[in-house]
Structure 1
């Protein structure tokens, strides 16, 4: 066994000056030690110095292997597998063995299987059937591992996990030159595989020394915080104060659960150290801190867009993805077409389908005379289509890698605007990932485009990436990354009893008794306690000042300090010296001055004719501001596509079917005269014609199955409705979907009335189809909810006997309306029986009252009445999406009323 010794950093630098090879436990420690060596050379007045021989373990091992291969000491295998290549082999093996089973977490299963293989090699465990006949998981792994070994032997492949074992024979034989002295730093423990290799080096007269950096005489305290967010905030204030006192100080922040708390820590540091990055457009400012753990590469916007662009190889992409591509600044032409591309996004939403074909996107982008015209984007798409034609149906990863690069270049990826330093580094990481993807070619079969894209996306999601930031004073690290590092000040956060010692995480594919017998990582409480105690002792001695914190709550769960820090003294807030100044947000908030809103009426209309039809009067009655914003400013929410047809499309389809049916029937008498089979045949025919007309606009929605379902639904509802029509008094349909004009209050609108029937006595009945529920009470009052039919009564000449809503609704087929006489239609009452019209002495007075109401609403719209005045708050505002524009919630605050009291005040208003 190699015994660990203690050494100072200065002695390590002295050893490097003597040419000693230094191997570190992690990449970060190698970089820090190299920087310390260079700084020492500068301090000694040197202008040039030899490059120190310092490498992390994996890099040193690979260098030794390359030297052995180049010198001919060992016979090179057909392929030295990379980690990604091994993962792909394991994935194929696991997928093939589970062909009759559905693995919900294939990626996780493969990762754990690959980890189990590496553990077996590192801890020199025997892979035998008897040992692994422990449970179904271990037996499955034994089968997978056996197939992996057999495949590697058959193909002449060498796993990285066995690289150390392959070097030992050459070292023992003296064929491979070894360094005179080898120093290891930053290792809390050595695996049996490492120990065996190092022992072999010792037997070959190499002086191997396993060193532990001497710690500092530190001042240690602990503090409990309410929760993780307050803990991060307190830490950030502590960091800010030390930077203010000494900008050259080196500060460490160690977070055991960094992966889950990364965003919280970054936000807290941003608020206190660089608050400007929280402003739009400043997110790429250089920060004075570095995070050791980067997010997945796929989460960076520029990479996310690259993955979505490759999705264009599929027949369609989702409407959501199409919108993100159009709004992305990473596609060529964005700076010139940002606004029109946003309008194109809105146009695609109006198609009503969840998926968009590339040809559809190109068609709309190339419409020159439209406000959403995007000629540069259309050129980009043309270049993409041309490049895509060269792609085969299946190809090797190497070929796909080249084709993906050409496709992205053709469409102008990463060329929409100048890239920041971080974005440039991320784009370079993507190009490296394409190279890694190409390296899968020797270990996988040719694949289809969809499979290749999915594989590349998965690799981007699994690879973490942290852009380089240069030398910064604050380092945020996980426990393992901090091994061997020293700081001036150190804050260790998150050391509660649930996180430290670390919870057990035994590998499910290695028998648990075997893991505990040899002491595999994360396999037993005793081992985790011992490892955590060692790491805690090392961390507490790695800075002059050390603060350890823990959250006291996580949601409803109470937390206690880790038993490994209970002996530390509790920190006094004054001793901690936290930055006292308020945050940037607090400064802005406290300096706010409210400006009272002054009356600012909208300008009156210059033209009498207004677009919008009956919606002008409906919106003016609901809320004058909404009418002004939607109809004069054009402020509308973007449409949202849904599965199947949305409510508007279904309503239009029903309208069209009923129009066709009544065009064929013409009258109540013809309806009565038809027998059931004839009527059903007629309805089936009309439904088929109506669907034919609309299906071309919804080509993706109207699949064969959906068409069949929609046909059955329409036929069923229309036939049910016609049964209700049979119960009416005789009539003749005189108009269907005809245009009319109405003028009220100086506002002229164009209307399209669904249907006008003529009774035997010559009077007319105005009918409007509705697929939702309606009530006659919605037509009355100074601000009617549904002024549509009252407005229609003004547009129709002649003697009107009634105005009706035809409620064609599943489970609620009914006529709703008001008429001059009782019995005009099933369920329709005369005006005399309605509460809202009791004061009217005659039917003509009802029509006159309606006209007066419409005149008043029209005059208000024409004169620019646009006050934020919902008829019944908050009910009227429930489905309005303009609240950020009218700011009614802020108005409630300015009026000094709570939302509940304000809602009651609005509810009690006179309608």
Structure 2
């Protein structure tokens, strides 16, 4: 085959581009040739020129098949329809699914992908199908799938891309397909038998084949760079590229990585840190000064992944997990991205109400609860799952309509726009699979579309980037000023045998499949190595001397280094990046004081949190900085606490006083408690059916009846009493709840005591229901001020009590005046207080307790009035605090420790 240099090819293109068509091994090489030609013409002053006919192998086959189909049509015959890649994948999946319906596979999409790969290999290497190997289970299964696949192709009157070389060769021999007078072959040095047969047929038919050769033979200067580990190799290469690019801005720099797919994330991370440290995560990736040939799957591109997530939500009648729903709502690719406050309010509502799974309609109600406009919630109500079956073309239209209603995708940067355009093309390809899919459900349609997008790589196109990162095969035929070849250690090059699945290795070796044997891989690796060493005048070979804690050496297929070199390690950041600028310390420990005369948000809870940590109280109650609640599969402690309050209020609203309780025998008491518990649970179930299922209601009913009966038994042992307040409201009134206004040392509060009992002859006892452990009423810090505040509100208060409804601990706990012990004997008289609680009192009587509480409330109120917002937690508070990422107290402590160490 005669050779032609790149410059001679460009000269031919100038005179008659159509007379010198080029067939390239890869799409990258085709783009590279066209780009170089355009660069040369532009340098010559040309402003317009005819585009050359330069195609990679698959595109060239498709164009020739279109010519064949046209020739057949002119002759009055109908050529078979060429299935697109999406149609072929869909047909293989349908075949495999039907064949394994009674023996379901774990990964049907993966198995259909392997079948398609085996089909392609069989046609590339002239392997006769079916294989007819009865003793091989995989081969027998593949034979059966192949027969079904062929039958369906015949019924459709279609062919696949794997069959094109043989079909076109037959068309050339029959004289149906016109052959080019000249065809330039670029980097097709390792052809498959099917490719070679087609090229030979073209040559026999009179086509002059020429091979693209380098303009001048290259004798490269090869340098070696051992590195301590793969991470150091990436760092060292990135720094070398940066220095070279700064010295020679116009130089073309190539980077070849054999296992690029496995190292892609690490490579981007380390190259970004060195080559573009200014690049932010939200920036357009096309702004990188380097281009990577191998992109991620189209399905994982953010704008496409969001579309799939919304469609998955729409196709899930039972909703999706709250994390997935909130991820959709927080996405920047829909109408709601312009209203983060309403979205945050909706998410807070969903989490606060314990939704584990969320439907679009539920999310719409949450948005309406957050007072979002109807235009924001209406699209969510339109995401109604369609249960009928329809062909893919119908589902493509419906999927597009659903996304349009959401105003997807919004304003896009360059890379996102390219991803959206690829999505539209993929949706069109999916719509054309009607003939091979039939009628399917929405879930099946979305699953097949997702598989198609996972199989479709995507790499955003930037400008004319001088730094190119590619895999081994993509480097074929390209030329650079400098080439860095990474990962060329003895464990990776030559690679081991990797036979195609479903076809026996013996069959593949007999057919000459290079990947099927170590000898074939060795020969292939030698050929690729020779091509690499002719790709640039300056080549750097690097490898890791340690891989997975095992020593490694340079591949024996590459020129050996001279004198041994010390392996390079990951260096410290360059001086311009490592210098730490002088910093100025500044503490903002003052917040805006609460407006005078306005009730403090959070009530007595804020007083308690302020005593524990001023910043925590401010963040929770003034800034609404609560961490999102994580829904649990059953009612959490807060819900159980609210339920306990409702049940006990319902019981005492029915009883009213101890006399009514005394008139009940044990059976009547159990009946009363059971009625109140069931009524409260039924109300809860109506308000939150997602939290109170039949099983949960049954468990909670037994638990709450046990606790309520135990607490009523404790009430029977008390002196006669009358319940005055329930949830702050008079028991004789119609109100269920009432907030009371109270000013505590200049701080207005709204408070609502759970219950207040009047005990004739003694006074009033304030009761607060607890489903957890009861806190101590007296201490150095008043971190639980509810009882102290309620004591200020209630006249003639002689005691405060926690009514504990807790397994193994149900009863009363608290403090009572020494002279009023009989009012509630379960409480501790002040004179019986022990250390350390007794040590903070100036005397062991009830007035001393009230004086202590007053002083503690005064100190807390003074801090609130002054806007104290210090990060000053009491011991143990941080362990149960959700604000550590906000206050960063542990980061501050680590910094202080580091500074102390530096000073030492």
Normalised by the length of structure 1, the TM-score is 0.87
Matched, 1:53 2:53: yes
Map 1:271-350 → 2, pairs under 5 A: 271-278=273-280, 282-283=283-284, 286-310=287-311, 311-312=313-314, 314-315=316-317, 316-332=319-335, 334-335=337-338, 337-350=339-352
Shift of 1:667: 5.2
What residue number does 1:773 align with? Answer: 773
Instruction: Give 1:34's aligned residue.
Output: 34
The residue number in structure 2 matching 1:809 is 806
Residue 287 of structure 2 aligns to a residue whose secondary structure is coil
Q: Indicate the RMSD between aligned Cα atoms, in angstroms.
A: 3.5
Query: What is residue 731 of structure 2 aligned with on the other side?
Result: none
Change (3 A) 1:50 1:869: closer
Cross-structure match for 1:525: 518
Alignment of 1:128-277 (within 5 A): 128=130, 130-131=132-133, 133-134=135-136, 136-209=137-210, 213=214, 216-277=218-279
- The answer to whether the Cα contact below 8 Å between 1:608 and 1:746 also exists between their aligned partners in 2 is no
CA contact (8 A) 1:671 1:726 kept: no
Alignment of 1:717-732 (within 5 A): 717-723=704-710, 725-727=712-714, 729-730=717-718, 732=721
1:609 aligns with 2:570: no
For residue 649 of structure 1, report the CA deviation from its aligned partner.
Answer: 2.3
Bigger shift: residues 22-31 or 143-152: 143-152
Q: After the TM superposition, which residues 467-616 of structure 1 pair with which residues of structure 2 at under 5 Å, given as runs?
A: 467-553=460-546, 556=549, 559-565=552-558, 567-569=560-562, 582=574, 585-587=577-579, 590-597=580-587, 600=590, 603=593, 606-607=596-597, 609-616=599-606
Matched, 1:404 2:399: yes
1:783 to 772, 781, 784: 781
CA distance in 2, matches of 1:557, 1:784: 60
2:849 aligned residue (846, 856, 869): 846
Distance in 2, Cα, partners of 1:752 & 1:560: 76
Matches within 5 A, 1:340-419: 340-365=342-367, 372-378=371-377, 380=379, 384=382, 393-415=388-410, 417=411, 419=412
Q: CA deviation at 1:208?
A: 3.8
Give, in whole Å, the separation in 2 of the partners of 1:287 and 1:710.
57
Indicate if the aligned counterparts of 2:342 and 2:367 stay in contact, CA closer than 8 A: no
Query: Structure 1: which 5+ runs fail to align?
Result: 902-911
- Alpha-carbon distance between aligned partners in 2 of 1:769 and 1:599, rounded to the nearest angstrom: 35
**Is 620-629 or 469-478 further displaced after alignment?**
620-629
Which residue is equivalent to 2:64?
64
Matched residues in 2 for 1:501 and 1:591: separation?
48
Report which stretch shifted further, 199-208 or 169-178: 199-208
Runs (5+) with no aligned partner, structure 2: 729-738
8 Å contact 2:130–2:147 — kept in the other structure? no
User: 844, 863, 866: which is aligned to 1:863?
Assistant: 866
**Partner SS, residue 278 of structure 2:** helix
Q: Say how many residue pairs are matched.
A: 874
The SS at the match of 2:539 is: strand
Matches within 5 A, 1:731-746: 732=721, 734=723, 735-738=725-728, 739-746=739-746
Q: TM-score, normalised by structure 2?
A: 0.88
Equivalent pair of 1:662/1:733 in contact (CA under 8 Å) = no
Decide whether aligned partners of structure 1 residues 573 and 837 sit closer, same or farther in structure 2, where only a CA change above 3 A counts: closer
What is the rounded CA distance, in whole Å, between the counterparts of 1:813 and 1:500 in structure 2? 72
**What does residue 754 of structure 2 align with?**
754
Structure-2 change in CA distance of 1:63 and 1:606 (3 Å): same
1:205-230 CA-partner distances (Å, limit 9, x unpaired): 33445666575211112222233333
Asked whether the 8 Å contact 1:654–1:714 carries over to 2, the reply is: no
Change (3 A) 1:153 1:570: farther
Give the secondary structure class of the aligned counterpart of 2:397: helix
Work out the CA distance in 1 between the residues paired with 2:360 and 2:455: 29
SS of equivalent residue, structure 1 residue 522: helix
Of the structure 1 ranges 844-853 and 40-49, higher mean CA displacement relative to structure 2 is found in 40-49
The Cα shift of 1:506 comes to 2.6
Q: Structure 2: how far apart are the matches of 1:583 and 1:402?
A: 56
CA contact (8 A) 1:818 1:829 kept: yes
Cross-structure match for 2:736 = none
Offset of 1:260 from its aligned partner? Answer: 2.5
Deviates more, 1:678-687 or 1:431-440: 678-687
Correspondence for 1:425: 418
- Match among 602, 614, 622 for residue 612 of structure 2: 622
Deviation at 1:317, TM superposition (A): 4.6
User: Equivalents in 1 of 2:808, 2:123: separation in Å?
Assistant: 68
Q: Kindly tell me: are residues 573 and 805 of structure 1, through their superposed partners in 2, closer, same or farther at Cα, counting changes over 3 Å?
A: same
Instruction: Give 1:122 deviation, angstroms.
Output: 1.2
CA distance in 1, matches of 2:811, 2:548: 52
Q: Which moved more, 1:309-318 or 1:461-470?
A: 309-318
CA contact (8 A) 1:27 1:55 kept: yes
- Residues 737 and 540 of structure 1: is their aligned pair in 2 closer, same or farther, counting only changes over 3 Å? same
**Distance of aligned partners of 1:407 and 1:106 in 2 relative to their CA distance in 1, 3 Å threshold:** same
The Cα shift of 1:125 comes to 1.2
Decide whether the 8 Å contact of 1:132 with 1:511 is kept in 2.
no
Shift in alpha-carbon separation, 1:857–1:181, aligned structure 2, 3 A: same
User: In 2 relative to 1, CA 897–70 (structure 1 residues): closer, same or farther, beyond 3 Å?
Assistant: closer
Other-structure match for 2:696: 709
Any conservation in 2 of the 1:657–1:690 contact (CA below 8 Å)? yes
CA–CA distance in structure 2, aligned partners of residues 649 and 447 of structure 1: 43
Q: Which moved more, 1:448-457 or 1:541-550?
A: 448-457
* Superposed displacement of residue 289, structure 1: 1.6
Cα pair 1:717 1:810 within 8 Å, conserved: no
Q: In the alignment, is the contact (CA less than 8 A) between 1:221 and 1:571 conserved in 2?
A: no
Deviation per CA, 1:64-108, whole angstroms, max 9, x where unpaired?
211111011695455321111111111122222222334332222
Match of residue 685 from structure 1 = 675
- 1:769 is paired with a residue of what secondary structure? strand
Residues in 1 aligned to 2:600 and 2:699: alpha-carbon distance in whole angstroms:
39
The question of whether the paired residues in 1 share the 8 Å contact of 2:69 and 2:78 is answered with yes
Asked whether the equivalents of residues 727 and 825 of structure 1 are also in contact (C-alpha less than 8 Å), the reply is no
Provide the rounded CA distance (Å) in 2 between the counterparts of 1:31 and 1:691.
69
2:321 touches 2:358 (CA, 8 Å); kept in 1? yes
The DSSP-based 3-state class of the residue aligned with 1:183 is strand
Correspondence 1:599-678 to 2 at 5 A: 600=590, 603=593, 606-607=596-597, 609-666=599-656, 678=668
Gap change, CA 1:96 and 1:800, over 3 Å in 2: farther
